[in-house]
Structure 1
Amino acid sequence: MRIALLGLGDIAQKAYLPLVTGHTEVVPLLCTRNTQVLAQFAQQYRIEEAYSDLAELIAAKPDAVMIHSATSSHFAIATRLLQAGIAVFVDKPISDQFPECEQLINLAEQKNLPFFVGFNRRYAPLYQPALATQPLQVQYQKHRHNQCAPARTFIYDDFIHVVDFVRHVSGITSIQQCDFQLFQHSHAAELCSVQVQWHHKDALFSASMNRMAGSSFERLEYFSQDQHWQIDNLRQGEYSCHNQRQTLGFDDWQSTLYKRGFVAMLDQFIQLLKTGKTDSSANNAALLTHQLCEKILERLPQHLHR
């Protein structure tokens, strides 16, 4: 299966290049306008097909393209690929403009092409036992040290990870099921912290991010009947049941990409490609995550809208 990586920035270099080039079912291709970077990684990973132009990549007819370029470029690139009949993986977000998200999902549906959005936290191994239970209360926090940001960047480029995970576990299928409360703190024209919470099916869900934190970290607290998980930074934590505690973690030999869910996520994408068609349920779920992000933005104070 010939899969191209388009855009070779930091995340692509750290996560996706090692994964894709090491996968037994994938023949990797590369595409970036930076010819120096292109030559470097084509040589390092012994990749024969490397392109500096999107049109040339499309002409090469890969089975799929994984988009890791700047958020502002996602819509135009994904549109061209889908129109050319090529399956798409897009590193979150689809776009930071909700109408563009809708257009791309609709195009994938019309073309009946695989379309996959890269939310790795859903696939984190330590989270899976919790996700197999009925939630009573879920609190997900993801914080950063001293990184207040414009609201749209804050929400769509970072907080979306938290929003997607909590939406996923809450089981909502429409925005009408998410009458959320919002709390925020801003400084000047930048958003510094936000928390949203809602009820669904007698359970409470909370997603929060503080970018004025003393350090960068994330924590999942997941409560179900007589069970509690507290997992920090996706790689360590505690599980409690019947008033007994168990330490959670990994062996030293297991990779960071495995711990953070990237390995399972890539496998899921490859399984979708094998079907050769779009997954409407997954498409609608991804779109709902972006719609929720847009609703959060709309609820923020007016001075943060720009």
Structure 2
Amino acid sequence: MKIACVGLGDIAEKAYLPVLGTRADTKLLLCTRNPATLDRLGARYHVPPERRHTSLDGVLAARPDAVLVHAATEAHPELVTRLVEAGVPTYVDKPLAYELKESRRVADLAEERAVPLMVGFNRRHAPGYVQCLEHPRDLIVLQKNRHGLPERARTFVLDDFIHVVDTLRFLVPGTPDEVRVHARASEDGLLSHVVLQLAGPGFTALGVMNRVSGSTEEVLEVSGQDTKRVVRDLAEITDHRGQPTVRRRGDWTPVARQRGIEQCVEAFLDAVASGAPLSARDALETHELCERVVLAAEEAGARA
């Protein structure tokens, strides 16, 4: 398959190209407006000049079987729209767009054209989180904190907290019938922390992000039936049943596999190869919930 990577920034270089560049069944195409980056990464992954492109027009002319979009979020709606209109199966980093109406438009277009569209929520494929589906989940608490990074509500939520929102949706054992949001913002409108609560029959889920925390960390706790599992930074799993039992990531386990990125790419490419349908409809529900968080956070900023 001819697979194009559009956008060669940090996330593409660190996470996706090491996966795509080692697949024997793919012919890699690269696309970025930065010629120096294009040549550097083209040489690293042995991509010949004729498969290096500085525009989406060049990529489309090469007739790729699928495209992975890793460009800046502002460019997502236009890029994905053009790819969907061209009938190209598309994988795009979260979010689809900063504005919910644009996310809906793109998702609707893909459904109307019957073009596979997948949003890259890698934590749904991270082994430590997937294994939690087998654990009792009466109470779910996920913290994803940062150090010294207060931000405007929309970018705070759609660029980062969206991972927390989607992971809670992935892990809750039922449909929430109660949604609550608490946020704290400064007078200049910068959001420092947000808490999302989802509750339903027999379960409660809390998602927390503090962007003025003392450290950068991600900690998931799921508990129920007198047991608890803690997953720290997607790498270390501790089970509590009286005495704690610790499992750590193997020394040779690639970070991309630990974080679910490798599995995410495999799921996308396997679906494309087999002709299986891919829909962004469920991902859109995460975007809709994020919009509720954004509005609540903006209200908190207005009251500050």
Alignment TM-score, normalising by the size of structure 2: 0.94
- Mapped to 2, the partners of 1:77 and 1:95 lie a distance apart of 11
- Asked if the contact 2:6–2:69 (Cα under 8 Å) also holds between the matched residues in 1, the reply is yes
Return the letter of the residue paired with 1:116: M
The alpha carbon displacement at 1:172 in A equals 5.8
Residue 253 of structure 1 deviates from its aligned partner by 1.1
**Counterpart of 1:67?**
69
**1:186 correspondence with 2:194:** no
The question of whether the paired residues in 1 share the 8 Å contact of 2:222 and 2:228 is answered with: yes
Residue 260 of structure 1 corresponds to: 259
Displacement of 1:117 in angstroms is: 0.8
Pairing 1:74-113 to 2, within 5 Å after superposition = 74-113=76-115
| 3-state secondary structure, aligned to 2:178 | coil
1:274 aligns with 2:273: yes
Q: Any stretches of 5+ residues in structure 2 without a counterpart?
A: none
Q: Which amino acid aligns with 2:210?
A: N
Matched to 1:14, the amino acid is K
Q: How far off its partner does 1:178 sit? A: 4.7
Q: Please name the residue that 1:251 is paired with.
A: 250
Cα RMSD between the aligned structures?
1.6
- Worse-matched range after superposition: 2-11 or 262-271: 262-271
| Residue 267 of structure 1, CA deviation | 1.2
Q: By how many angstroms is 1:276 displaced?
A: 2.4
Contact 1:113-1:276 within 8 A present in 2 as well = no
- Equivalent of residue 293 in structure 1, options 279, 290, 295: 290
For the residue of structure 1 that corresponds to 2:131, the secondary structure is helix
Counterpart mapping for 1:147-226 below 5 A: 147-170=149-172, 177-187=176-186, 188-226=188-226
Mapped partners of 1:288, 1:20: distance in 2: 28
CA contact (8 A) 1:19 1:263 kept: yes
Q: What is the deviation of 1:274?
A: 2.1
Matches of 2:301 and 2:90, distance apart in 1: 32
Give, in whole Å, the separation in 2 of the partners of 1:100 and 1:225: 42
Choose 95-104 or 149-158, whichever is displaced more: 95-104
Q: Which amino acid aligns with 1:67?
A: V
Shift of 1:240: 2.0
Aligned AA (1:190): L
Partner of 2:57: 55
Give the 3-state SS of the residue equivalent to 1:93 in structure 2: coil
Corresponding residue SS for 1:56: helix
Preserved CA contact (<8 Å) 2:181 2:195: yes
- Gap change, CA 1:76 and 1:237, over 3 Å in 2: same
| CA displacement, residues 24-81 of structure 1 (integer Å, 9 cap, x when unaligned) | 3222110011111111111111012111011111111101111111100000000000
Q: TM-score, normalised by structure 1?
A: 0.93
- Which sits farther off after the overlay, 164-173 or 198-207? 164-173
**Identity fraction in percent:** 35
Q: CA deviation at 1:237?
A: 3.0
Question: 3-state DSSP class of the match of 1:214?
Answer: coil
Q: What is the number of equivalent residue pairs in this alignment? A: 299
**How far off its partner does 1:263 sit?**
1.4
> Which deviates further from its counterpart, 262-271 or 295-304?
295-304
* Structure 1 CA distance for aligned equivalents of residues 131 and 276 of structure 2: 29
For 2:78, the aligned partner's letter is A
After superposition, where does 1:2-81 map in structure 2 within 5 Å?
Answer: 2-48=2-48, 49-81=51-83
Separation in structure 2 between the aligned mates of residue 196 and residue 129 of structure 1, nearest angstrom: 23
Give the drift of 1:171: 5.2
Q: Which runs of 4+ in 1 moved over 6 A?
A: none
1:136 Cα deviation after fit: 0.8
Partners of 2:128 and 2:86 in 1: how far apart? 38
Instruction: Tell me the alpha carbon deviations over residues 133-156 of structure 1, each in whole angstroms, 9 at most, x when there is no partner.
Output: 442111111000000001100000
- 1:206 maps to a residue whose letter is L
Note if contact 1:7-1:31 (Cα within 8 Å) is conserved in structure 2: yes
Q: Is the 8 A contact 1:5 1:68 kept in 2?
A: yes
